[in-house]
Amino acid sequence: MRHRLVALASLFVVSTHMGACAMDRIEAEMPLLTFSKQTAPESESLIGGQVVRSPGYEYGELLVYNRLTEPIVLEWNIHVRQNFTPIVRSSAGEVVSDGRPFGISGSPSAEASKHVVAPGEKHTIKLAGLFETVPRGKRKPGIYCIRVRFLAVAADGHGLGIWESNEISVQLKENEE
């Protein structure tokens, strides 16, 4: 029961204020999941003898901090991102994501991969494709609020609770996925 209480202590209550992302934290300690927005710079590469320019893009970076007394297991067969479900809200506050986890479109590997986050350890995960769970018909240019949900599982397979990150504000530009 202690684990569930620790996990619930890091949940966030979402509120909207004039379309902006706002979070009212219910916690006394450092959160278990911290979500931040990063920007990849523009880049150039040589492909077939020609210089190809790639525009910069925004992506999420999730810090998983195991504040529990037992290890947390991240297990996947496509990508570690499939442990996390994005909750994407439009500027009007409507949830536009479809409820599935990141990274489930791809070829599964024959054997599952796993990463164990030991007690007190921190693990950072890059979450690109922030809008991959938003149906194309709902992807409109504008500002979106995104947070991440995680079902924490211990090494012996028992659940440790559902954790949610803070929310970040991300702009979806015209012709961007």
Q: Mean pLDDT, to the nearest integer, of 120-141?
A: 90
**Residue 83: both structure tokens together:** 């442990």
Question: Maximum distance among all alpha carbons in the chain?
Answer: 61
* Residue 114 within any structural domain of the chain: yes
Residue 116 in contact with residue 155, Cβ under 8 Å?
A: yes
Give the model's confidence band at 162: pLDDT under 50 very low, under 70 low, under 90 confident, else very high: confident
User: How far apart, in whole angstroms, are the C-alpha atoms of residue 73 and residue 173?
Assistant: 35
Question: Would you say how long the chain is, in residues?
Answer: 177
* Residue 48 within any structural domain of the chain: yes
**Residue 56: both structure tokens together:** 């910069």
* Residue 26 within any structural domain of the chain: yes
* Residue 177 within any structural domain of the chain: no
Q: Considering its fold, how many domains does the chain have in total? A: 1
User: How far apart, in whole angstroms, are the C-alpha atoms of residue 132 and residue 84?
Assistant: 12
Domain that residue 125 falls in:
2-172
100: which DSSP letter?
P
Average pLDDT of the residues of the chain: 76
Q: Lowest mean pLDDT: which of 30-44, 68-82, 145-159?
A: 68-82
* Residue 97 within any structural domain of the chain: yes
How, if at all, do strands 142-153 and 159-164 pair?
Answer: antiparallel
